[in-house]
Structure 1
């Protein structure tokens, strides 16, 4: 699971839940279905990840979450509010798709994306950052929440 880039596994989850929804004939949750809210969430989901990507490029550090090392600990921009703006974007994107479709099985996608990020990828990355940046990362982690 760590070898696949996070956007790829998030896309695979969306494809699998869409396939399951299709096979189940797209049962809709009426109170959770809103195309405009879903599209809004999808649009918002790109803000923090793109901002983080720009900051990583400017800092000259690795974007690949499975890289062996990182050149710099980035703590500004969206990283002032969340330690994981890119994963937060993936969760919001999958939630936006679920709300836009309204299909009950699509709401499994954001839960799975969150669970895999929170219990597989983030612990791996945080251990890597602790090894590399020690007290600087610990201080950052004490002051900035993992999610929001």
Structure 2
């Protein structure tokens, strides 16, 4: 298949990866419970709520930006435009960053420290499985414009 028309992913893996990470966190909490100190519960839940709210705002902003630029929000569809506005000015992967923040925030709200721990490998696996392939797709579609964008914008934060 022509690299220009190649889909970035065959299956939208990132939501699945983060879903597995959250399931693993609940399983780990059942097998090897970690606790939050009693005097930190309110702070943990407050920070967790802030992380989840930030993740939701970031994800909605990113998806809205993609739709406004008339390109797909699905990671297994071909991009029609290189989007460098909205949250994409600050990070090349705002939706995946939102997933990571939401996973950590969920752990804080539910007082499950494993969610914070599994958020890191979930982000690493997302990078290996999805981001590398998506960036090859964007490079084949947009060439030097994507190279400039990649040089000027961080991958995560």
TM-score interval for Structure 1 and Structure 2 normalised by the shorter chain:
0.7 to 0.9
- Output the aligned Cα RMSD: 2.0
Instruction: Verify: 1:37 aligned to 2:47, yes or no.
Output: yes
Shifted more, 107-116 versus 31-40: the winner is 31-40
Could you tell me whether the CA contact under 8 Å between 1:82 and 1:147 is conserved in 2?
Answer: yes
Residue equivalent to 1:23 = 31
Structure 1's unaligned 5+ residue stretches are none
Runs of 4+ in 1 over 4 A off after TM superposition: none
Could you tell me whether the CA contact under 8 Å between 2:21 and 2:115 is conserved in 1?
Answer: no
Residue equivalent to 1:113 = 122
Which residue among 52, 57, 71 is the counterpart of 2:67?
A: 57
SS of residue matched to 1:46: helix
Residue equivalent to 1:11 = 19
Shift in Å, 1:5:
4.2
Q: TM-score, normalization: structure 1?
A: 0.88
Shift in Å, 1:29:
3.9
Paired positions, count: 146
CA offsets, 1:7-59, max 9 Å, x none? 233122212211221233x3214387511111111111111211111111122
Residue equivalent to 1:126 = 135
Q: TM-score, normalization: structure 2?
A: 0.83
